[in-house]
Structure 1
Amino acid sequence: MTLNLKALRIVLFVFALFLSASTLFGQSYPKVIAQSGDGIYLLLRRHGLDPSEHLKPFLELNQENLGQDNSLYAGRTYLLPTASTAAEAAVESSPVEKATSSPAVLVEPLFGKSYERVEIKDKQLQGAVYYLIAGHSGPDPGAIGKYGAYQLSEDEYAYDVTIRLARRLMEHSATVYMIIQDPDDGIRDENILKMDTDEVSYFGRPIPYDQKQRLRNRVADVNQLYLKHKGAHQRMLSIHIDSRSKGQNIDVFFYHHESSAPGLALAQRIHEVFTTKYNRHQPNREYFGTVTPRSSLYVVKYSHPPTVFVELGNIKNDKDQRRFIIPNNRQALANWLCDGIIADYKASN
């Protein structure tokens, strides 16, 4: 009788192991290949997965295939978590555990080696989603200015300010989408930024030559991602540098859709920050930046999230050029934009 009971227990134990193994190995996961410059957040977002929900399952699925600080290896295959695995992870973790298990440091290779480690400073923007578009790019350099013997292209300087802004927003726990991405530039600290044409769209598509198609593609990417975050606080910024006569010194100014109250509010709050910063850092100089409706701009007109179109200055003017040629000034622009975004989020929630 005792032997039969022991045998029964062994059978039940083996059966339980079989069930757990079949549950584990019976699940199939989509496979993706990491591209050069991919971090986990970027990889998840490219495939329509929210990092706040899918980061932990991704780490568990791929823990033996990750580099230092959970970095990815370009060319390697990774498993993507499914909605069910994310749900299971959420059930297994208490709210406190989920809050404390979030990494204090993220690694985002898109920012470049010097800046890829992003320290999460606070949760001021947790739950907020931002879409950032650097103007022009790919085959279109945008406006061109001259600085001594060098040519300055709008897309390179707008991109550097935009990616710096992305990093600042992530430091405050925002979900950020860089809609235009350069796989090898990262954040750059040179005065003269080399012109190239290798930027791609968020989903990895090459940027077309046709201007209207370029605009359609980036707006379509934003709107596709927007649907995945329905109900969240979502905003978009499109960052540019203007081109006017060489002698015209202009300040940073902002456009919004005339029918978008949230777009207007965001533009005004960023404008208020710039006004305050100018008063503090250049007390003898009045700030002339403006907030203006301009609904005819394609990305303002057709993007689902409330949008602010930013012009950082005149690329042909000597004084304006110092605003974006000096790396610390580019960082200041990103910081001030971030401060205005935080003020807007706090006022909206």
Structure 2
Amino acid sequence: MITFKDLRTYLLLLLLWLGIADLHAQNYPKVIAKTGDGVYVLLRRHGLDPTAHFKAFVDLNKKNIGEGNSLYAGRAYLLPLANPAASDAPGAAKKTTSASVLEVPLFGKDYERVKIIDRKLQGAVYYLMAGHSGPDPGAVGKYGPYMLSEDEYAYDVTIRLARRLMEHSATVYMIIQDPDDGIRDQTILKMDRDEVSYSGKPIPYDHKLRLRQRVNEVNTLYKKHTGAYQRMLSVHVDSRSKGQNIDVFFYHHENSPSGLALAESIHKVFTSKYQRYQPNRDYFGSVSPRSSLYVVKYSHPPTVFVELGNIRSEKDQRRFVTPNNRQALANWICDGILADYASHKDK
């Protein structure tokens, strides 16, 4: 039999719990979304790295978020609590309980835990820029009944490269980011337009404004790391006649010996890999100056512009659509980067 005293005790405990729960909820700052706001823009405005706090924000506000994680102007949203341990490297990499493991949400659920395998690239800073993105899919090819877009495949190779570099303790910035793609192991990568710049800004429709935006972000970060070893890579997929398969090409600024050295180091790895894995064919990839390319001309760090192949060629398409091949491309570029940095340290 429940007495009045028992009931009063139960009600007091319930009220106390509700008070604690309400206090817990009030610990999250409330902000009002503006017209045109997306999750990334809102988080950036309030000093939070979106790739670190995207999931927490969505979880806090899941009943108040529209289709495609859109926000409603004029509505109040809860902000996640800032994590003082979070880094501003890609996906706001943060250390877990193990000093040798990072968590990088940008890499996706299956790949977000990054185990540090050595310190070979400690002190090096890399800016990785996947070509096109947002409203611009870049080159497009047909693969059976499917359409392949340059930006999706260049992005997947680039983000795989980011993860490999971080395994060697590099500081890495993904200048173009997709908040929900991560590293993908599908053959056909779905085309979308939700990529944003590193700072969380939408990617402009105008071609020159797109290039200017990403170069400005690289150069701003470059100043932050003044005095450090810094390099930039821009990853693309070419488009030529359907029957023309091509090898991987590397471009650099004609007045950048450091850019040339990095390009030659990566090219050397590709040449040796092709000799090993495809000994019955010649490798015609090359290194050459191409200073007219906007990102090569105006980026402050020494820059290498990479063309991975022809998206319209059936032979080259195998280089992109097979996930293991995309990983191999990232691995080989990483090997060239490792060799370049080792050579730099030896001087």
Aligning the two structures, in what range does the TM-score lie when normalised by the shorter sequence? 0.7 to 0.9
Residue number in structure 2 paired with 1:158: 154
1:39–1:172 CA distance, 2 compared to 1 (3 A):
farther
Q: What's the counterpart of residue 54 of structure 1?
A: none
- Asked if 1:258 corresponds to 2:254, the answer is yes
Q: CA deviation at 1:34?
A: 5.5
Question: Compared with structure 1, are the counterparts of its residues 31 and 248 closer, same or farther at alpha carbon in structure 2 (3 Å cutoff)?
Answer: closer
Q: Could you tell me how far apart the structure 1 residues matched to 2:155 and 2:53 are?
A: 19
Partner of 1:8: none
Q: 1:117 to 1:79 in 2, by over 3 A?
A: closer
Q: 1:215 is matched with which residue: 199, 211, 216?
A: 211
Q: Which runs of 5+ in 1 are unaligned?
A: 1-29, 41-73, 82-100
SS at match of 1:78: coil
Distance 2:104 2:84 in 1: 18
Q: Is the Cα–Cα contact under 8 Å of residues 253 and 297 in structure 2 kept in the other structure?
A: yes
2:339 aligned partner, one-letter code? A
Helix, strand or coil at the partner of 1:139: coil
C-alpha distance in 2 between matches for 1:340 and 1:236: 13
Residue 38 of structure 1 pairs with residue 34 of structure 2: no
8 Å Cα contact 2:53-2:80 kept in structure 1: no
Q: Deviations over 1:76-117 (max 9, x none)?
A: 121658xxxxxxxxxxxxxxxxxxx97211000000000000
Q: Which position in structure 2 is the counterpart of 1:340?
A: 336
> Which string of whole-angstrom CA distances, capped at 9 and with x for unpartnered residues, describes residues 286-317 of structure 1?
11000010000000000000000000000000
- Which of 128, 131, 146 is equivalent to 2:127? 131
Matched with 1:245 is 241
Give the 3 Å change call, closer, same or farther, for CA 292–144 of structure 1 in structure 2.
Answer: same
Is the contact between residue 31 and residue 79 of structure 1 (CA under 8 Å) also seen in structure 2? no
Unaligned runs of 5+ in 2: 1-44, 55-77, 86-96
Determine if contact 2:123/2:170 at 8 Å carries over to the other structure: yes
Partner of 1:78: 82
Task: Give the residue type in structure 1 aligned to 2:288.
Answer: T
1:31–1:80 contact (8 Å) kept in structure 2: no
Cα shift at 1:336: 0.1
Alpha-carbon distance in structure 2 between the residues aligned to 1:39 and 1:164? 21
Separation in structure 2 between the aligned mates of residue 347 and residue 39 of structure 1, nearest angstrom: 37
Distance 1:311 1:258 in 2: 17
What TM-score does the superposition give when structure 1 sets the normalisation length?
0.74
Do 2:153 and 2:320's aligned partners in 1 also have CA atoms closer than 8 Å? yes
How many corresponding residue pairs?
Answer: 268
Partner of 2:192: 196
CA contact (8 A) 2:238 2:307 kept: yes
Q: Distance in 2 between matches of 1:32 and 1:274?
A: 41
**1:129 partner SS:** strand
Counterpart CA distance in 2 for 1:248 and 1:260 is 31
Question: 1:13: which partner in 2?
Answer: none
1:1-349 → structure 2 map (5 Å cutoff):
32-33=47-48, 35=50, 37-38=51-52, 75-78=79-82, 80=84, 103-349=99-345
Change (3 A) 1:32 1:314: same
CA distance, structure 2, for counterparts of residue 80 and residue 31 of structure 1: 15
TM-superposed deviation, 1:32:
3.6
8 Å Cα contact 1:34-1:75 kept in structure 2? no
Task: Give the CA RMSD over aligned residues.
Answer: 1.9
C-alpha distance in 1, partners of 2:144/2:150?
16
User: CA–CA distance in 2 between the matches of 1:292 and 1:304?
Assistant: 19
Taking the aligned partners of 1:241 and 1:303, their CA distance within structure 2 comes to: 20
TM-score, length-normalised on structure 2? 0.75
Provide the rounded CA distance (Å) in 2 between the counterparts of 1:142 and 1:194: 14
The 1-side partners of 2:109 and 2:83 are apart by 25
Extract structure 1 runs of 4+ deviating beyond 4 A: none
Which amino acid counterpart does residue 214 of structure 2 have in structure 1?
Answer: R
Give aligned-pair identity as a percent: 73
Distance 2:145 2:194 in 1: 24
| Residue of structure 1 in register with 2:30 after alignment | none
Partner secondary structure for residue 152 of structure 1: strand
Q: Is the 8 A contact 2:296 2:303 kept in 1?
A: yes
Distance 1:214 1:230 in 2: 25
| Conserved 8 A contact 1:32-1:80 | no
1:114 maps to a residue whose letter is D
SS of alignment partner, residue 208 of structure 1:
coil
2:296 partner amino acid: V
